[in-house]
Amino acid sequence: MRRYPTWPIHLALLLTACVMLVPFYWVFKTSITGENIFSYPPSLLPVDPQPFFYVDAWYAIPFPRFFLNSVIVAVMVIVANLFINAAAGYALTKNFAGKRWIILLFLACMMIPFHATIIPAYLITAKLGLLNSYLGLGLPAFSHIICIFIFKASFDAIPPSLIQAAKIDGVPERDIMLKIMLPLAKPAVATTIILSFIWSWNDFLWPLIIVRDVEMQTLPLGLSTFLAYFEDTTGALYAFCTMVLAPGLLVFLLAQKEFIQGLTSGARKG
Amino acid sequence: MATASTSSHQSRIGGGRTVAPSARRGLFARKRHRELALIWVLLIPALAIFLLYRVIPLLWNVVLSFQFWSPTKPSEWAGLYHYEEMWVYDDVFWEALTNTFKYMLTAPIAIILAIGLALMVNSRIRGRTVYRTIIFMSYPLMVVAVGIIWRWLYDENVGLINYLLRSLGIIDRPIAFLETFATALPSVIAAAIWQIIGFFMIILLTGLQNIPPNLYEAASIDGASRWSQFWRITLPLLRPSIFLCFIIGIIASFTSFDLIYVMTGGGPGHATELLITYIYKAAFTLTQFDYAGALTVVMFVLFVGLALIANALAGGEAGKVDIAD
């Protein structure tokens, strides 16, 4: 087959890469600019770089507190998702009366976007007395249906003979699950961790609805509140924005293979 | 139905339990009971969450939409009052509905671009994994931060986009992209495309890599050009992936709250109002929970309808979850 020159492809991809990267650069540049960020024309390179905006942001907002809140909620959601979804996925590998109905119920629930439930979800959370609390922030995300099916699929792939052998050896059901099946379902565990992390870390609408106090705000909520107070008038906004993006980017770059794989298998989320 | 199929499956999964000798039936029945109890104990946490945060809210929404409801007063039956108000009197509802449909344009545009990108990063060129990473990178990031980035790029005075357009002589006076009625929604859509395109690229890339290479070999032996190979082999076989992207795009048009909230807040006027941002405002700014409930019911019915249509068009393949047991 005739070989085509590759330079047009490189050119097109380089251009795309620029379009994808320049927005990040532009915000980072603004966050370290030393001169007035509103002087025209804007310089393409940071003029007189300095960290003042970061210092401003650090003193204007309780960044460590926001970060901690985000981490606490994310960890809660991840742990809950691992246990609840692995348990449900394991139960669905068994046969029992009503199994089809349960599966249908799960599939139907997948068709309900969380966004279509916010009003009663808010009222329910208020009734439970969980407004403005970590548990309230995490609870609706404690189980993602897609992860149940991912766990079920990976448990189904474990050869039944292995389980049978363990049963014959008298291994109790609990140990079969924790010591044999869970380690064999590592990809499902990784996917669940990644999906529940991203969805919890980036979640904005739910915290916006149920958080009242500044001390309970998570990072996205803190960022949007900052925007609401200061508009675009200060470079500290872009310093804050960079501080918020940096950990997410770092986590992504460290585990990008798992991220890409996890998000692709989570694509069917409703 | 489930009980009837139990025995045949048990022989596969549960091993010897099905052919219990009658003498030991009591023991096995007890074991079976314990196993059943365990199954339900394992299912209950997940079921509780979905009941509490999916099923009950959905039904409650429907109930709310037929009531006059406020946190302080006892509720009253309202019949179709809210729906009538929405349908007949509420211009903002219609604007939000139209905008939600317009926002769906994100999907086809992003899909066409992403097909091109997927083909390119699938070719044997150096650095393709680096390109993939860079193009995908924007997808998992926090939408609130992405919205702030794009606000700044669109800034009227010192935004990069205005600066570039002015330097290139395309426009001679700066455009306030996000404050102008005509440009606000397209500008937000552009930002949405920027964020989702890498995800679509990866989905389509997976689709491309699942196409058996011998199809192309056979086609080129038969003298098919690259162009006709693309139209006759690549595109038809990519159909499930394309529809998956399409459904994700439809979902996004119903759930893109964060981006709109941060970039425009629904403005100017209601030029970028989507159903979801309007629901939020009706419920949590104006505290009209009953009316917002009616809006939510309309949004949900629309969402399910579109998802079913898209699924039917895809031949029932997109979003399929394996329930065969």
Following DSSP, what letter does each residue of B188-223 receive, concatenated? HHHHHHHHHHHHHHHHHHHHHHTS-HHHHHHHHHTT
Q: How many residues does chain A have?
A: 270
- What's the mean pLDDT in A235-244? 89
What pLDDT score was predicted for residue B3? 38
CB contact under 8 A, B163 and A202: no
B324 pLDDT more than 70: no
Q: Which residue of A has its CA nearest to B6?
A: A95
- What's the mean pLDDT in A167-180? 83
Neighbours of B289 (CB within 10 A): 22
Q: Which of A21, A103, A164 sits opposite B134 (nearest CB)?
A: A21
For residue A149, the number of C-alpha atoms closer than 13 Å in the C-beta half-sphere is: 23
Q: What is the ipTM of this complex?
A: 0.88
Determine contact, residues A99/A92, Cβ cutoff 8 Å.
yes
Q: Which two tokens stand for residue B240?
A: 């499930």
B18 pLDDT more than 70: no
What pLDDT score was predicted for residue B317? 53
CA distance A94 to B42: 11
The mean pLDDT of chain A is 87
Q: Which of B142, B150, B276 sits opposite A23 (nearest CB)?
A: B150
CA distances from A177 to A14, A165, B52, B199 (A): 48, 14, 27, 34
Choice between B189 and B82, residue whose per-residue pLDDT is larger: B189
What pLDDT score was predicted for residue A3? 63
Determine contact, residues B140/A198, Cβ cutoff 8 Å.
yes
CA distances from B79 to A191, B51, B55, B59 (A): 45, 26, 22, 16
pLDDT grade for B21, boundaries at 50, 70 and 90: low
Taking the whole predicted model, whether its pTM rises above 0.90 is answered as: no
**In chain B, which residues have their Cβ closer than 8 Å to the Cβ of A208?**
261
- What's the mean pLDDT in B208-227? 87
Q: Which of A16, A40, A201 sits opposite B117 (nearest CB)?
A: A16
A residues 239-268 lying closer than 8 A (beta carbon) to B = 241, 244-245, 248-249, 252-253, 256, 259-260, 263-264, 267-268
CB contact under 8 A, A264 and B145: no
CA-closest candidate to residue A147, choices A94, A210, A79, A225: A79
Tens digit of each residue's pLDDT (9 = 90 or more) over B129-187: 899 999 999 998 999 999 999 999 998 888 889 989 988 888 888 888 988 899 999 99
Choice between A38 and B193, residue whose per-residue pLDDT is larger: B193
Report the gap between the CA of B60 and the closest CA in chain A (Å).
Answer: 6
CB contact under 8 A, A20 and B194: yes
Choice between A61 and B97, residue whose per-residue pLDDT is larger: B97
Element (H, E) at B67: strand B67-68
- Percentage of the residues of chain A whose pLDDT score is greater than 70: 97
CB contact under 8 A, B145 and A139: no
Q: Which residue of B has its CA nearest to A228?
A: B262
Largest distance between two CA atoms of chain B: 94
A234 pLDDT more than 80: no
Tens digit of each residue's pLDDT (9 = 90 or more) over B104-126: 999 999 999 999 999 999 888 88
**In chain A, which residues have their Cβ closer than 8 Å to the Cβ of B149?**
23-24, 26-27, 241
Tens digit of each residue's pLDDT (9 = 90 or more) over B219-255: 888 888 888 888 888 898 898 889 889 888 888 889 9
CA-closest candidate to residue A30, choices A222, A234, A244, A219: A234
CA distance A103 to A97: 12
CB contact under 8 A, B140 and A198: yes
Tens digit of each residue's pLDDT (9 = 90 or more) over B260-312: 999 998 878 899 999 999 999 999 988 888 899 999 999 999 999 998 888 78
Most A CBs within 10 A among B8, B28, B36, B39, hence the mutation to make, goes to B39
Q: Does A139 touch chain B (CB under 8 A)?
A: yes
Q: Which residue has the tokens 């609990």?
A: A174
CA distance A153 to A94: 12
CA distance B136 to B248: 16
